């Protein structure tokens, strides 16, 4: 008889895991304390945006393999394996992770279990948690019911969650018993048939693998962003630099895209929680570099705000178009989003901020209701003094100056993700700024043309355009 699985916590990670386990052929029960979420999932409606997940959800509600409930007792009777997929957010006013939801859900399912089973933690937790929770499981489970514990960190990326869950690049299992490993080999049999690396280890290593991976990625992004600060000062092109070092296979090109930096529900809080944890362990200086990575990251946001302030001086009455509020493309997640942070700060400085994101407007509006949310890109840029590209949705990567020129009041764009071709924009008479990249001023010939026909005298000062056509006059990126 195939294993019956429950997934406790049906947020981003849990809903994805539940639907993907059903796709692999298991009977799955998703459990959450949030009734609204459970009702929505039961109707086949995903409460967030994630490519391909809605289809999978509906498919397996129809096959009957996937159900949702608010009852932990039902889960305790049903499941052979219980995945814990609740959040570990940053504690208010602190760097450490809030373990309330993990602790309470592990205790609750251990109490509710009416048959032998395995609890499998997927949430990202401070090292040492699994060993502590193992004790809790023993205390809470009923006499005669054997409840095991394993830790199986999740590495899925938003936007690729289904793909990453069905075809993970590695599986990591921390446990203290060969029985737990055997059960998880059965759960992940499909991936194991494809020879996916399976790393069976102890609790501590499994917990640390997750935070080490995220810390490394965060550092990689901040590393290239630190070089952006250098190229902005001495001249140079950060994209070319990243391409060149990325050819070295030991370094690799991925996660070297300079720009407004990292955000989201994982990288920022995970590096902070890791620092807090090692500090608790008396290793204060060990992870100090993560503090630097965090600060470099946040300075990129300041840089964009300052750039706009320095260019315009007073922002009162200025119209700013912000393209993107999600922390990255193909997601409607705005948690710790650099784009939304920059938009809100410019609004606080007095600007009129018109925002457009293909998917994240509604979530952004819940956090910052006073920004002006637009239904289309053109609505957002119409009459703007500057366009800020802050999340690299495909719709924005493909932008051309010709699509926007007739709509804006002042031709200026800031490419906060380094995805546009500067020459295309400067040649079309735009002031183009990017983080860490050499930019040309608008070409003189075009400016004279634009001066007559489009921009209006006051928009094209000799300082902006009074130089020979095509000459590179500014090597400072921003
Ligand atoms: C991350 C990890 O990648 C994933 O393995 C883990 O399970 C959860 O955390 P995610 O938060 O979905 O996943 O986003 P990711 O794709 O890692 O991007 C994080 C942030 O870094 C985004 O804001 C993105 O825009 C930014 N980023 C990424 C850069 O600024 N430059 C890059 O080169 C890559």
27 lines ligand 1 (CB under 6 A): no
Residue of the nearest CA to atom 20 in ligand 1?
262
pLDDT at position 473: 28
> Ligand 1 atom 34: the closest Cα is on which residue?
255
Q: Does the CB atom of residue 287 touch ligand 1 within 6 A? A: no
- Token pair in block for residue 22: 């059903």
The pLDDT profile of the chain, 478 residues, written as one tens digit per residue, is 889 999 999 999 999 999 999 999 999 999 999 999 999 999 999 999 999 999 999 999 999 999 999 999 999 999 999 999 999 999 999 999 999 999 999 999 999 999 999 999 999 999 999 999 999 999 999 999 999 999 999 999 999 999 999 999 999 999 999 999 999 999 999 999 999 999 999 999 999 999 999 999 999 999 999 999 999 999 999 999 999 999 999 999 999 999 999 999 999 999 999 999 999 999 989 999 999 999 999 999 999 999 999 999 999 999 999 999 999 999 999 999 999 999 999 999 999 999 999 999 999 999 999 999 999 999 999 999 999 999 999 999 999 999 999 999 999 999 999 999 999 999 999 999 999 987 766 665 544 444 333 332 223 332 232 222 222 323 233 3
**Measured from the CB, is residue 327 less than 6 Å from ligand 1?**
yes
In angstroms, the CA 352 to CA 168 distance is 44
Does ligand 1 lie within 6 Å of residue 266's CB atom?
Answer: yes
Q: For residue 101, report the distance from its CA to the centre of ligand 1, in Å.
A: 24
Whether the CB of 23 sits within 6 Å of ligand 1: no
Helices (H), 235-266: 238-246
Alpha carbon distance 3, 187 (integer Å): 8
Sheet holding 4-8: strands in order across? 66-69, 27-31, 4-8, 81-84, 117-121, 147-151, 171-175, 198-201
Q: How far is the CA of 264 from the centre of ligand 1 (A)?
A: 7
Please enumerate in sequence order all residues whose Cβ is within 8 A of that of 347, keeping only pairs 6 or more positions apart, or say none.
353, 368, 370, 371
Task: Determine whether the shortest distance from the Cβ of 414 to ligand 1 is under 6 A.
Answer: no
What was the pLDDT predicted at 472? 30
The response to whether residue 160 sits with its C-beta less than 6 Å from ligand 1 reads: no
* Inter-residue contact 253 to 308 (CB < 8 Å): no
Specify the pLDDT at position 462: 28
Looking at ligand 1, which residue's alpha carbon is closest to its atom 1? 157
Sorted by where each begins, the domain ranges of the chain are: 4-201, 202-478
Catalytic residues: 266
What are the Cα distances from residue 418, in Å, to 200, 321, 339, 437, 454?
40, 17, 14, 8, 26
The predicted structure's pLDDT at residue 300: 98
Strand (E) or helix (H) holding 73? helix 72-78
Nearest residue (by CA) to ligand 1, atom 13, is 157
- Cα(49)–Cα(51) distance, integer angstroms: 7
Identify the H or E element spanning 415: strand 412-415
**Minimal-distance CA residue to ligand 1 atom 33:** 255
pLDDT at 447: 45
Neighbours of 243 (CB within 10 A): 12
Instruction: Out of 3.40.50.720, 1.10.10.10, 3.40.30.10, 3.40.50.300, select the CATH number for domain 202-478.
Output: 3.40.50.720
| Residue 267 alpha carbon to ligand 1 centre in Å | 7
CA of 268 to the centre of ligand 1 (A): 10
Asked if the domains at 4-201 and 202-478 fall in one CATH topology, the answer is yes
Residue 326 Cβ < 6 Å to ligand 1 = no
Ligand 1, closest atom to CA 266?
9
CA nearest to 136, candidates 175, 103, 88, 173: 103
Atom in ligand 1 nearest the alpha carbon of residue 263 = 23
Q: Which residues, in sequence order, are CB contacts of 24 under 8 Å at separation 6+?
A: 166, 190
C-alpha to C-alpha distance for 467 and 402, rounded to whole angstroms:
22
- Decide which of 3.40.50.720, 1.10.8.50, 3.40.50.300, 3.30.43.10 is the CATH code for 4-201: 3.40.50.720
Q: pLDDT at position 477, please?
A: 35
Angle at 250 between CA 255 and CA 298, to 5 degrees: 30
* Nearest atom of ligand 1 to the alpha carbon of 153: 7
């Amino acid at each position: 008889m195939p294993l019956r699985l429950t997934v406790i916590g049906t947020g981003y990670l849990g809903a994805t895991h539940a639907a993907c386990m059903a796709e692999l052929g298991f009977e799955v029960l998703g459990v959450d304390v949030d009734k609204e979420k459970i009702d929505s999932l039961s109707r086949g409606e995903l409460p967030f945006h994630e490519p391909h997940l809605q289809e999978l959800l509906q498919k397996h509600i129809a096959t009957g393999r996937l159900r949702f409930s608010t009852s932990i007792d039902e889960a305790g009777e049903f499941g052979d394996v219980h995945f814990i997929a609740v959040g570990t957010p940053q504690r208010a006013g602190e760097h450490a992770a809030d373990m309330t939801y993990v602790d309470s859900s592990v205790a609750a399912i251990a109490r509710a279990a009416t048959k032998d089973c395995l609890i499998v933690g997927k949430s990202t937790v401070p090292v040492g948690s699994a060993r502590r929770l193992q004790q809790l499981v023993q205390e809470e489970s009923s006499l005669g019911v054997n409840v095991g514990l394993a830790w199986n960190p999740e590495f899925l990326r938003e936007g690729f969650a289904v793909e990453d869950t069905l075809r993970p690049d590695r599986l990591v299992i921390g446990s203290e018993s060969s029985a737990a490993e055997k059960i998880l080999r059965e759960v992940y049999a499909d991936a194991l048939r494809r020879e996916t690396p399976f790393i069976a280890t102890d609790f501590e290593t499994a917990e640390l693998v997750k935070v080490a991976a995220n810390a490394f990625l965060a550092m990689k992004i901040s590393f290239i962003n630190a070089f952006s600060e250098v190229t902005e000062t001495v001249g140079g092109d950060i994209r070319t630099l990243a391409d060149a070092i990325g050819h070295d296979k030991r370094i690799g090109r991925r996660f070297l895209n300079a720009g407004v930096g990292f955000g989201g529900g994982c990288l920022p809080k995970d590096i902070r929680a890791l620092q807090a944890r090692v500090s608790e362990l008396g290793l204060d200086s060990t992870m100090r570099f993560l503090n630097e990575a965090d600060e470099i990251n946040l300075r990129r946001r300041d840089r964009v705000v300052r750039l706009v302030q320095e260019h315009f001086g007073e922002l009162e009455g200025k119209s700013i178009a912000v393209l993107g509020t999600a922390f990255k493309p193909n997601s409607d997640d705005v948690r710790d989003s650099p784009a939304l942070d920059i938009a809100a700060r410019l609004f606080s400085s007095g600007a009129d901020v018109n925002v457009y994101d293909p998917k994240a407007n509604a979530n952004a509006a819940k956090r910052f209701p006073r920004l002006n949310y637009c239904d289309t890109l053109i609505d957002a840029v119409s009459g703007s003094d500057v366009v800020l590209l802050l999340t690299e949705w495909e719709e924005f990567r493909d932008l051309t100056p010709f699509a926007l020129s007739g709509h804006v009041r002042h031709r200026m764009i800031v490419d906060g993700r380094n995805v546009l071709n500067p020459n295309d924009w400067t040649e079309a008479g735009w002031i183009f700024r990017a983080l860490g990249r050499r930019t040309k001023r608008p070409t003189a010939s075009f400016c004279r043309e634009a001066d007559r026909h489009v921009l209006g005298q006051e928009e094209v000062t000799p300082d902006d355009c009074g130089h020979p056509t095509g000459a590179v006059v500014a090597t400072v990126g921003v």
